[in-house]
Structure 1
Amino acid sequence: MTDPTAITTDGATGRPAPSAGPSSPSADAGAAARRERLGHLLQHHGASLVLLGLAVFGTVAFDAFATGANLRAIVVSSSFLAIVALGMTFVIISGGIDLSVGSLFVLGGVLAAYGSRAGLLAALALPLAVCGAIGLLQGVLIGRLGMAPFIVTLAGLLGVRGLMLAVSDEGATTYLVEDRAFASLGQDGPFGVTWPVWITVALAAAGVVLLQRTGFGQNVYAVGGNEEAASLMGVPVVRTKILVYLLSGLLAGLAGALNAARLSSGVTILGIGLELDAIAAVVIGGTLLTGGVGGVTGTMAGVLLLGVIQNLINQVGNLTSAVQQVVSGAFLVLVVVAQRVLSRTQRLT
């Protein structure tokens, strides 16, 4: 009979064989790697997973949710926020913030409608030139003079809206879009989907390439991750900051112009709180407010997620728009808490 207490020996050396303890260093390393991969997946693709889950729920719970007309309505209404949030993604990854995009959005719409009297090119060039110049100025103040992004863009939020009121006679004048070609840019499009959606898809694809495949994109990540280290490595910190705010201003103005084409007028009461929606979409998409981490695809998923939440609330029928704001705010808090936990877990591994 074999003694159960006997020590197992190595047949080649006669020495005691190593005992398999509760865990080995390789097993611990494997578990840590799995936790890190899971954290990375949730950080970068969590919004997409939640969006998929909500889409399945909406399809099962509401007959009208998965119809072609409803899905088109979601993507069309989300396209303007998506363009603004695209620029915000670059700004936040670089470690900044842009509170002026809501005012730039409405100013772009008013200027586009005003410029449409001279044709399609003027309707696009005027808002892009003015909004781009304002974004450039904010970038110079932040990058060259070292002023705080929050203060500079908060001043931009107030000043740009004041400029819009001056252009529109204190909001009393609503300019109508007079050029048919410009109006069709916001109302027509192939396959029953308006041009702003296709423009958003093209801009998002370009944003992915710019952020992931170019030196400028790597500079944005480096500046947001550690500005001092980036400067020591030779990264053009000032130029990078200026360019991200220029990009944000251009995209906000473009979104406003496309929205004016859709509405056939430069409505002066739009854009209030749009900057908060853009920030929420970016953060929900996995971009950290501290900078250095994020991506365009996550932002697009965050925008669609906000649109789907609003649409599902509308599907219920007896809930007010205030409920959508409460749900979006609560969801944003949950996302930020989850990001905090994931970041701490990844540091531990």
Structure 2
Amino acid sequence: MSVPTPAAPGRRTSRLQAAPLIQRYGVLLALGLLVLFGALRYEGFLSAYNVFTVLSYNSMFGLVALGMAFVIMTGGIDLSVGSVAAFASVVAAVLSPHGLWPALLGAVAAATLLGLINGLVIAYLKILPFITTLAMLLAARGLALIFSNNQSVSADTDHGFTTFGQGNVGGVPYTAIVLFAAFLIGMVVLRLTRFGRHVLAVGGNEEAARLMGLPVERTLVWVYVLSGALAGLAGVILASQFSAGQPTEGLGWELTAIAAVVVGGTLLTGGSGSVGSTLVGVLLLGIIFNILNFENGRGTLTLSAYWQSVIRGAFLLVVVVLQNRLTRGPSVKEGS
């Protein structure tokens, strides 16, 4: 009878390094196959109208997911993004009679302040991100209901505010342009800046990063500020697209964001991630629901909008299980 021996550290390390790559290219392949399936099955699937509609609608989720990606890369989580976006949509609608820029800047500033509070509490008071952002979820939702008197706030349509969410240039929606510009900037920040390197270092090993002299607390504050600001921008798009601030919107947005980030290959444990793959994850989820809408139109399926939450939850669970299997090496080696 032989004694079980620990698995070789090198083997586990190689699996940890390979897991994000496998998941990253796997999700890109899945996206390509879905697009091919939709193009062959549905007339108008690749039409400019459908493509831009999907991009415009999912721009809100994409911006929230971008902020969430940076948070998760530090090993944290932000459960407040949906409520912060709803609060920002109300602020934007209230300020919309003054024009687009006051509404946009005011809403993003308000959301950024909430993100700053999250970051300060997590970084300096050492409260767990889960608890801190859960408290902010409740607080931001309450603020949205207070500012709106528990009802939708109509946005002004005469001073250019709604053009931001409903307009286009050369047929391309402004919101799609904002989405891709944000992700392009995010990729540059993560790959080419000191802040991006700090984010990955803090997520990889916070104590080691601190011993190396990296500004751990400042980095944590900034990722939650970024998450709040992007959630605020998503809230502005929400109010502009639907011509109203929506205090009860944003429910489950944090789940959608986490799903997109994890599907894109970012490890929930932090220290590894990709902005570009997060965008692929957002598009994958968006196209899945677009296909379901086409099936509803054909009469093949009859699924209510509530099933989207069920599908998102199941999808996230499957991806997390697969990610766990990829990153978990065997703890013992049995012999006969």
User: How does the TM-score come out when normalised to structure 2?
Assistant: 0.88
Cα pair distance change 1:38/1:237, threshold 3 Å: closer
Measure how far apart 1:42 and its partner are: 1.4
CA deviations 1:291-312 (Å, max 9, x no partner) are 1111111110111111111011
Question: Does residue 131 of the first structure (1) align with residue 111 of the second (2)?
Answer: yes
Contact 1:46 / 1:286 at 8 angstroms: preserved in 2? no
Distance (whole Å) between structure 2 residues aligned to residue 329 and residue 311 of structure 1 = 17
Partner of 2:314: 330
Partner of 2:248: 269
Question: Does residue 248 of the first structure (1) align with residue 232 of the second (2)?
Answer: no
Partner of 2:238: 259
Contact 1:177 / 1:264 at 8 angstroms: preserved in 2? yes
Cα pair distance change 1:37/1:124, threshold 3 Å: closer
Question: Does residue 315 of the first structure (1) align with residue 294 of the second (2)?
Answer: yes
Measure how far apart 1:240 and its partner are: 0.3
Distance (whole Å) between structure 2 residues aligned to residue 40 and residue 83 of structure 1 = 21
Measure how far apart 1:119 and its partner are: 2.1
Partner of 2:323: 339
Cα pair distance change 1:259/1:172, threshold 3 Å: closer
User: How does the TM-score come out when normalised to structure 1?
Assistant: 0.85
Deviation larger for 263-272 or 191-200 = 263-272
Aligned AA for 1:335? V
- Within-5 A mapping of 1:132-281: 132-169=112-149, 171-172=150-151, 174-281=153-260
Distance (whole Å) between structure 2 residues aligned to residue 248 and residue 71 of structure 1 = 26
Deviation larger for 172-181 or 221-230 = 172-181
Distance (whole Å) between structure 2 residues aligned to residue 186 and residue 231 of structure 1 = 42
Distance (whole Å) between structure 2 residues aligned to residue 336 and residue 228 of structure 1 = 26
- Within-5 A mapping of 1:292-303: 292-303=271-282
Distance (whole Å) between structure 1 residues aligned to residue 133 and residue 188 of structure 2 = 27
Contact 1:175 / 1:266 at 8 angstroms: preserved in 2? yes
Partner of 1:119: 99
SS at match of 1:166: helix
Measure how far apart 1:323 and its partner are: 4.0
- Within-5 A mapping of 1:70-109: 70-109=50-89
Measure how far apart 1:182 and its partner are: 1.9
Measure how far apart 1:322 and its partner are: 4.1
Contact 2:155 / 2:162 at 8 angstroms: preserved in 1? no
Distance (whole Å) between structure 1 residues aligned to residue 307 and residue 231 of structure 2 = 27
Partner of 2:7: none
Distance (whole Å) between structure 1 residues aligned to residue 253 and residue 23 of structure 2 = 24
Q: What is the total number of aligned residue pairs between the two structures? A: 317
Q: State the structure with more CA Rg.
A: 1
CA deviations 1:227-286 (Å, max 9, x no partner) are 011111111100000000000000100110122112222122211111111111111111
Measure how far apart 1:179 and its partner are: 4.5
Distance (whole Å) between structure 2 residues aligned to residue 299 and residue 347 of structure 1 = 30
SS at match of 1:294: coil
Measure how far apart 1:345 and its partner are: 5.7
Aligned AA for 2:302? L
Structure 1 runs not aligned, ≥5 long: 1-30
Cα pair distance change 1:135/1:33, threshold 3 Å: closer
Measure how far apart 1:338 and its partner are: 2.1
Structure 2 runs not aligned, ≥5 long: 1-10
Cα pair distance change 1:114/1:344, threshold 3 Å: same
1:50 aligned to 30, 35, 52, which one?
Answer: 30
CA deviations 1:189-235 (Å, max 9, x no partner) are 11312111101111100000101110100000011111011111111
Contact 1:132 / 1:249 at 8 angstroms: preserved in 2? yes
SS at match of 2:45: coil
SS at match of 2:79: coil
Distance (whole Å) between structure 2 residues aligned to residue 256 and residue 33 of structure 1 = 40
Contact 1:185 / 1:261 at 8 angstroms: preserved in 2? yes
Aligned AA for 1:69? Y
Distance (whole Å) between structure 2 residues aligned to residue 145 and residue 92 of structure 1 = 19
Distance (whole Å) between structure 2 residues aligned to residue 36 and residue 291 of structure 1 = 12
Cα pair distance change 1:36/1:275, threshold 3 Å: closer
Contact 2:152 / 2:246 at 8 angstroms: preserved in 1? no
Q: Which has the higher contact order (CA 8 A, sep 6+)?
A: 2
Partner of 2:266: 287
